[in-house]
Amino acid sequence: MSNYRKTPEAIARLTPEQYRVTQQAATERPFDNLYNDNKAAGLYVDIVSGEPLFTSLDKFESSCGWPSFTRPLHNEQVIEKHDIGHGMIRTEVRSRDGDSHLGHVFPDGPRESGGLRYCINSASLRFVPLDQLESEGYGEYRKVFDTHQQESAS
């Protein structure tokens, strides 16, 4: 059982934009958000529950205006739901433990990485830089980055 969860205290700490996105399934403005252009190494976690969702290793430039990832860190942490709102048929993605609206997944990502694009609202995320993983309680995820560096070096 995970220790990540949605609490009234976590909801109370959200900014109006974070609340609108995570709790009311809104979408933030494209290109005008915190992490679209973030190139730093680290972990992206749910702003509500803190559950780890994506890493910078899977982030790519999609030119859509929102942070885009080829895959979640753990598939079971990101729940897919059928979304027919706004006159479109899409697949919404939500965090499992926080039940936060994150964004949508589309089949137009890089083919060499599986072909998916997880288009995620910055307002639903908190970024934990690589050098702060341990101090922020995410030290166990350092190995993901270390393994990637070893694979890249060989």
3-state secondary structure of 147: helix
Catalytic annotation present for 119: yes
Given 119, 120, 125, 133, the catalytic residue: 119
**Phi, psi values for residue 43, rounded to 5°:** -115, 140
Buried b / exposed e along 56-87 (16+ C-beta atoms within 10 A): bbbbeebeeebbbbbbbbeeebbeeeeeeeee
In the chain, alpha helices (H): 8-12, 16-24, 142-153
Residues known to be catalytic: 119
